[in-house]
Chains A and B, each alone.
Chain A
Amino acid sequence: MSTFAEEIKEPKTITSATRPNANALEHEAIYIMREVAAQFERPVLLFSGGKDSITLVRLAQKAFWPAKIPFPLMHIDTGHNFPETIEFRDKLVEELGVELIVRNVQDSIDQGKVVEETGKYASRNMLQTTTLLDAIEEFKFDACIGGARRDEEKARAKERIFSVRDDFGQWDEKNQRPELFDMLNGQIEMGQNVRVFPISNWTELDVWSYIQKENIEIPSIYFAHKRNTFLRDGLIWSAEDGVVFRAEDEKVEERIVRFRTVGDMSCTAAVESYADTIDKVVSEIRDSKISERGARIDDKRSEAAMEKRKQQGYF
């Protein structure tokens, strides 16, 4: 599916005040949000505190106004989040008046369900999957709304808007339901759940332009700031908070950086940037020569890294 990214174009003769804006991607995403609320009994919006999930929250607000968002938000907390993201999350939830569920990867580690990775590339990114699947079971969620986009990565380019997962959270990429026109089939069996991706058809630039146009607040780490960092494999890592493993010969230097994604600190590299306002970020992205996930070490593990994680139940 489904671009219903179709057909909307503002007539030039009528002022913008008589009709809503013509952002086809936004109208499509709102349509999807409403299908989720209508077709499922216990939906949840997976909220990471990143720009994509913040965009989802705004779209959900728009879809149901003047009613509140009719589902809770859930954050799978790796314990390695940027502190700025957590502060931001709590403030947003309070403003919205919606329920926030937090489940911690640390608990899964303490319960012996997963084992913490060690070494130079240790990350809790993979461990999130177990915590997420447990939470889905605990709350009997039948639909999980996520901010994944098809332009992020090759395997995601084949993801459906309604993507069915089995009892084990697994993605069967060879047996996906066709999505025709904008009809979304949310029929599932007990124990299955659907991952829903309302901004599937957005690109990174679309998301940033939307944040700019809507004047949406986002965590400060997306903007250029001074940070103690070190270099590894040509990427810039945060040397603050002690989360990222740093060898003794990896020298700490202060750089002006910002983050393009705010995943787990242990797998999210920074980029050198002076973009300290949303306008500057948008023009930087427009001119950018490195794709967004280029700064995510978890995808570089192998050519098929993302596809393997998805089969195991990753977001």
Chain B
Amino acid sequence: MEVLKIATAGSVDDGKSTLIGRLLYDTKSLTDDKLEAIERTSKQKGYDYLDFSLATDGLVAEREQGITIDVAHIYFSTASKSYIIADTPGHVEYTRNMVTGASTSQAAIILIDARKGVIEQTNRHFFINNLLRIKDVIVAINKMDLVDFSEDAFNDIKADFEELMDKRDYQDQKITFIPVSALKGDNVVNRSQSMDWYKGQTLLEHLEELDLQDIYNVGTPRFPVQYVIRPKTEEFHDFRGFAGKVYGGELSVGDEVVVLPSMTRSKIKAIYFYDTEYQTAPRRSSVTITLEDEVNVSRGDMLVKVGDLPIVDKQLTATISWMDSNQLTVGGKYVLQHGVNKALAKVDAIDHKIHPDYSGIEENVSSLNMNDIAKVRLRLNKPIFYDKFKEHRTNGSFIIIDSRTNHTAGVGFIE
């Protein structure tokens, strides 16, 4: 079964939870007991409609405040695909959650309230999805029922959004506009009876047609070694397998490879998945690789194809999204985790802060607060093997760990 993960972004009261609830309801993904709970609670609150947001707002604090405060994962499936929705909050202070949700998603839905149009929040939602290089973005213009299902209202908002699109860094991002009413169910799963002027697909139709092969960013094969398997049993006395996941491209038996950082060359002898040997390890497969030669390989090392080397360097520039309540400061020392590899990092300089609402940059900055995004220069205690984020979504990103708290304090996208 194909799995598609979708990030959602919307401001408070744009009806994001209602949209997700509607998707679940119209795809018959809500079970009887969940539906009963929604009906019961909606009635208790005196609503004359079903409050689908109750299907997704998980934590007590959220139910009390009536808002979503963290990333929640919602699952549903159709005959052709399994969907995972990362429901991320839309308030200003939760940029970090949006970045987190988008980092594992291949498509995104940005919600706009048809009565309010493009607002500052919309800029941020778009900026983040573009920064994270999500290939397919749906702009769902919601609450169309409250603007009399007006085509003009839809077109005005679309025109405003298209102005934003000119400013984006990642121009190849595909963007689709859909007029919906999540509350009434128009153009979410079922076609609207009230908007004959709209000839495009419904939200679900669009998602169903996405070709998963097409919406992933393809790069060159990278194999970071997670774990060395040495069974030391009689049967497998000399077995030394390198366990890891293949990113970007695929690797096959016989491929000539280079081990980083030692730069030793060898050839792939065998590829195992569990107890079976295969010819090829496709992208995103967790396999075990053995090499022709006795090469010293340990966790954090990387196998790449000869002639396809990544950048090997101790210095790098990256766009960083800061996520911790403790500030990032120039001169600060952190642990940098790049895939499964770790290095110590020192902040050499903050070039400038980037306002995620497309309102420009800010220079002469010496520290970053939670939710800040900035271009930062780092120096490491040893070289890492990376690609530019533009070219390799996995091998071009890293997280920053504050060793005083062990928190994941930020994420970086390498230039």
Contact A4 B236 (CB under 8 A): no
B5 adjacent to chain A (CB < 8 Å): yes
Q: Per DSSP, are chain B's interface residues mostly helix, strand or loop, or mixed? A: mixed
| Chain B residues with CB under 8 A of A30 | 286
B96 within 8 A of A: yes
Which applies to chain A's interface (DSSP): helix, strand, loop or mixed? loop
Contacts of A20 in B (CB 8 A): 273-274, 276, 278, 281-282, 285, 287
Q: How far in angstroms is the closest Cβ of chain B from A192?
A: 8
B residues 54-76 near A (Cβ < 8 Å) are 56-61, 63, 69-75
A11-56 with Cβ < 8 A to chain B: 14, 17-28, 30-31, 34-35, 37-38
Q: Is the CB of B5 within 8 A of A6?
A: yes
Which residue of B33, B61, B236, B280 is within 8 Å of A174 (Cβ)? B61
| Contacts A6-B5, A6-B106, A181-B104; A157 near B58 (Cβ below 8 A) | yes
- Cβ–Cβ contact A7 & B75, under 8 A: no
List residues 213-252 of chain A with CB under 8 A from any CB of chain B.
Answer: none
How far is A77 from B363 in the complex, measured between Cα atoms in Å? 60
Q: Are B284 and A61 in contact (CB under 8 A)?
A: no
Contact A203–B323 (Cβ < 8 Å): no
B226: nearest residue on chain A (CB-CB)?
A: A34
Min Cβ gap B287→A in Å is: 7
- Report if A25-B397 is in contact (Cβ < 8 Å); known contacts: A4-B284, A8-B284, A64-B229: no
CA distance A28 to B245 in the complex (A): 9
- Using Cβ atoms and an 8 Å threshold, which residues of chain A touch B236? 66-67
B161 at the interface (CB under 8 A from A): no
**Nearest CB of B to A182, in Å:** 7
Known: A66-B235, A157-B72, A185-B337. A22 touches B282 (CB 8 A): yes
A65-B274, A158-B59, A179-B408 known; A203-B31 Cβ under 8 A? no
Q: How far is the CA of A185 from the CA of B284 in the complex (A)?
A: 20
Are A38 and B340 in touch, CB under 8 angstroms? yes
A167–chain B nearest beta-carbon distance, Å:
14
Tell me if A178 and B406 are in contact (CB < 8 A). Answer: no
* Chain B interface residue bracket vs A: 35 or more
Chain A residues with CB under 8 A of B232: 67
Taking A290-B33, A291-B34 as contacts, is the C-beta distance between A180 and B103 under 8 angstroms? Answer: yes
Give CA–CA (A243, B304) in the complex, Å: 58
Of listed A10, A183, A205, residue having the most chain B CB within 10 A: A183
The verdict on A113 contacting chain B, using a C-beta distance below 8 Å, is: no
B130 to chain A, nearest CB (A): 17
Among B252-309, those with CB < 8 Å from A are 272-276, 278-288, 299
Query: Can you identify 7 A-B contacts, CB atoms within 8 angstroms?
Result: A6-B216, A8-B285, A27-B284, A67-B233, A181-B393, A183-B337, A187-B406
Residues of B within 8 A of A (CB): 1-3, 5, 31-34, 56-61, 63, 69-75, 77, 82, 84, 96-97, 99-100, 103-104, 106, 212-213, 216, 226-227, 229-233, 235-236, 239, 241, 243-245, 272-276, 278-288, 299, 323, 335, 337, 339-340, 393-394, 397-399, 401, 403, 406-408, 411
